[in-house]
Amino acid sequence: MRSVEWDAQHNQLWLIDQRLLPAEFRRVALHTYEEVAEAIRTMVVRGAPAIGAAAAFGLALAAQQARGSRAAVLETLQQAARVLKAARPTAVNLAWAVDRVLSVAQATSGGADDLRAAVLAEAQRIADEDVATNRRMAEYGATLIADGDTIIHHCNTGALATVDWGTALGVIRMAHEQGKRIHVLVDETRPRLQGARLTAWELEQYGIPYDIITDNAAGFFLSRGEVQKVFVGADRVAANGDVANKIGTYMLALAAHDNGVPFYPVVPTSTFDLRIAHGRDIPIEERDPDEVLAIQLRGRPVAPAGASARNPAFDVTPHRLITAIVTDRGIIRPPFDVHIPRVLGTA
């Protein structure tokens, strides 16, 4: 089952509500682009590729909402694009997918119905391409995993974070399906616990052995020589190879580097943003402090009443800490400022 799926019979978008896992598996139906934007903001859907696909289908819903002439549909699409892009600022796939659909819409001739059909077709194409892209990345990345490896994984990068299959977790899944005996140490990924809630749930479905660890235990296992590889995803990659990913990735990369353990982001080419030269220029989303302050232990609040918190959703790992970047066009190794443009065809 896809995490982002268009229902052609009822002209609606189905999403897996990831806030409820692992306790409950539920799909929700969305009917307007405003509902899609809210689902992205509230993390009903999350993961850069999944957000991009959801936003593309959000434009398809916007085209359906619009009444009147071709010009009226285009105006609604522009309005919807602004709302969708503002839902979450860090993941470049969101703006990439919206801009791609808008470009097709603007180039489409004919009337309003032709425009609606073209927008929906492009959104479906983005979703289908994502699945194929992830399979290619998985095949490339699995070559980096040896039989018997223990791997640390941060956040969730599986089928839930994409349309299907996954990025970093897709690589791990592919290695498992190839018969390699692997074990995964799953970072909890605080404060929203995507690792403990979502990655562990997916590994259960695949039958891959794992242990959940606290984020601050990763350095312990790395320093003891118990980990052979680290695989993570990414929400945006700068032209020099700096990677923005879920908060905690930078500390994990530092610990891996200090212990000589290879560190691999797994990234579709749509996640590269060559307009941004350095990671320091990537916008970092800060989320509601309540995500930190509302955490409870045995039913009681952890933080004192009246406490304040900072809650950045992402951090940036500098390219000097990265062994290689796995993409759907192959494995990119340093120097990244030379090899990224070559692989992406912009050199």
Give exposure, 153-183, as e/b (b: 16+ Cβ within 10 Å): bbbbbbbbbbbbbbbbbbbbbbbbeeeeebe
Question: Is position 235 annotated as part of the catalytic site?
Answer: yes
Tokens of 50: 């999944």
CB-facing half-sphere around the CA of 214: CA atoms within 13 A: 3
Sheet with 4-7, strands from edge to edge, namely 4-7, 12-16, 27-30
Please state, in angstroms and rounded to a whole number, the distance separating the CA atoms of residues 345 and 347. 6
| Residue 90: count of CB within 10 angstroms of its CB | 20
| Residue 265: count of CB within 10 angstroms of its CB | 29
- Who's near 338: CB < 8 A, 6+ residues apart? none
Residue type, 42: T
Name the H helices within the chain: 33-41, 48-65, 70-85, 92-107, 112-142, 168-177, 194, 200-206, 218-223, 249-258, 290-293, 336-344
Catalytic residue among 235, 273, 315, 328: 235
Phi-psi region of 192 (alpha: psi -120 to 50; beta: other; left: phi over 0): alpha
Between the CA atoms of 306, 307, 308 and 312, what dihedral angle is there, to the nearest 10 degrees? -130
CB-facing half-sphere around the CA of 121: CA atoms within 13 A: 10
| Residue 105: count of CB within 10 angstroms of its CB | 22
Q: Note whether 126 and 119 are within 8 A (CB).
A: no
Q: Note whether 57 and 35 are within 8 A (CB).
A: no
- Residues with active-site annotation: 235
